[in-house]
Structure 1
Amino acid sequence: MAAISTTESSPQPRVYFQTPPGNDDTEIPVRKQGRVTVKYDRKELRKRLHLEEWIIDRLTELYDCEEEAIPELEIDVDELLDLPSENDRAARVKDLLVDCYKPTDDFVKELLDRIRGMQKLSTPQKK
């Protein structure tokens, strides 16, 4: 509840917030609603999350190690989507996996199949 007070000592009215009667500090505080400044397509975000989980699973198989021991490499899906052709995308992924001793062709082919038709997330989708 807000109370407006105008006193002769202050030229501008001031607003003071008071707790309504009967409310004490032992009650659960009311959460304020946040504002959403950017909207993303939830379906696309979910697809991206599943893709990233799949990539991690496959990399642990390819490198024959736990997730924490995977060499520092970043497969940036948005970067791949920016490349003009499938051949360029395949070459980029193979460059990233250059130190993998296992065959990577199946991984690269399946990755490119999975990202086909995906949208970049760096620019929000408007409805």
Structure 2
Amino acid sequence: MTRSKDTYLQARYKRLAAHRGPLKALVAIEHSIITAIWHMLTDYRPYNELGGSYFTQRDPERATRQAINRLNQLGYTVTLNPIEGAARPPPAKCPTATTTAGYTTLPSPTLTWTYLRVRYR
């Protein structure tokens, strides 16, 4: 087993451990690894490492809000000025979900995933 820095699984563990605790986060990461292995074996695809900055790139506005809130809690006033000529990532687009007879289908370029909506009482 190798230890790597700046990986998707490391970023996911840190996010989960902050809210759920280290043991539950570890079990969730183990589940993510097993799920990735299953997809690699059944779909004959290599592992696609998303990187440690995946969550920041997915929702940059959220990362900005969190950074501002942290600085405000430390007693600082924050003013943001965009840098001229800096490339901003395009906003993430959410696929349009369709619901038919209790099933939710999310379109994908290669696959269509269908989830059964289960109601618990």
User: Under TM normalisation by the shorter chain, which class is it?
Assistant: under 0.3
**Which is bigger in relative contact order (C-alpha 8 A, separation at least 6)?**
1
| Higher gyration radius (CA) | 1
With normalisation by structure 1, the TM-score equals: 0.25
TM-score (norm 2): 0.26
